[in-house]
Amino acid sequence: MKTIDTRELADWLDASLQASRFKDYCPNGLQVEGKPRVGHIITGVTASEALLRAAIQRGADAVLVHHGWFWKNEDPRVRGPRRTRLALALHHDLNLFAYHLPLDAHPQWGNNAQLARVLGLMPDCDTTGAPLTCGPDNLIWLGTAPGLPDLQALSQRVQQRLGRAPLVIGEPDRALKRIAWCTGAAQGMLDDAVHAGADAYITGEASEPTVHLARETGTAFIGAGHHATERYGVRALGEAIARQFGIRVEFVDIDNPV
């Protein structure tokens, strides 16, 4: 089986995702060091116990996720579920790679880019071909929904493609010219989407104030699921690793209704 040096893989990922340019809520990159060489990677959305056990069962050398460990302001003590997860990784010599905001933002493999592909959204681009963005760290993408004239049609497409009924705030016949989207827990960026002139904003989650802001501004809101909107970036990144290095990469979807 073909393998690659763990440090070489970490350097390639850091450079490809431009990890150093983000001020994130967690460390990006190699979070837990395991085997010195990697020939088999399991990718998934979150480094949960279930994903780690799936990687161990499949004989993987590394786990690559969007949601890793060591988040800002969380309890740093190693006990309970945290102890179990860390013990599994260390006992089985698993490398844990995690990329949060860098994976959201990547123009090709990122969560926003991949959600656009899955939903058939067309990103607006500048003169260089880069996607037009707004909001904190330019994480919100802007574009159109070709063939989807109103909110009802967009909502139906979201449900069909993501496999779950979204939370929808707005009139079904709301005409759509400009769409904004940012995967995951980006409901706090709805105001940025409003100021960008979006007719509808798609993200993963909703908070209590989200409903009022959507109603009062007339910008439709679609909460399509945190996990459901972020399954595609890490999978695309894994496929890119397989092409680049010729090693085995498998995506494992540990479903989460949130």
Q: Are residue 30 and residue 95 in the same domain, yes or no?
A: yes
Residue 256: inside a domain: no
Q: Are residue 239 and residue 135 in the same domain, yes or no?
A: no
Residue 155: predicted pLDDT: 98
Identify the helix (H) or strand (E) that includes residue 110: none
Which residues, 6+ apart, have CB-to-CB distance to 207 below 8 Å? Answer: 187, 188
pLDDT above 90 for 63: yes
pTM reported for the whole predicted model:
0.96
Residue 257: inside a domain: no
How many Å is the Cα radius of gyration of the chain?
19
Q: Are residue 45 and residue 65 in the same domain, yes or no?
A: yes
Q: How confident is the model at residue 1 (pLDDT cuts 50, 70, 90)?
A: confident
Q: Are residue 45 and residue 157 in the same domain, yes or no?
A: no
Read off the CATH number of the domain in which 64 is found: 3.40.1390.30
Q: Are residue 88 and residue 182 in the same domain, yes or no?
A: no
Q: Are residue 23 and residue 88 in the same domain, yes or no?
A: yes
The total of structural domains in the chain comes to: 2
pLDDT above 90 for 43: yes
- 71-114: per-residue pLDDT in tens? 999 999 999 999 999 999 999 999 999 999 999 999 999 999 99
Positions at the binding site for a divalent metal cation: 66-67, 104, 226, 230
DSSP per position, 175-199: B-S-EEE--SS-GGGHHHHHHTT-S
| Residue 179 to residue 198: CA distance in whole angstroms | 5
Positions at the binding site: 66-67, 104, 226, 230
**Structural domain boundaries enclosing 210:** 105-227
Q: Are residue 48 and residue 60 in the same domain, yes or no?
A: yes
| Residue 144 to residue 122: CA distance in whole angstroms | 5
Q: What is the mean pLDDT of the chain?
A: 97
- 136-190: per-residue pLDDT in tens? 999 999 999 999 999 999 999 999 999 999 999 999 999 999 999 999 999 999 9
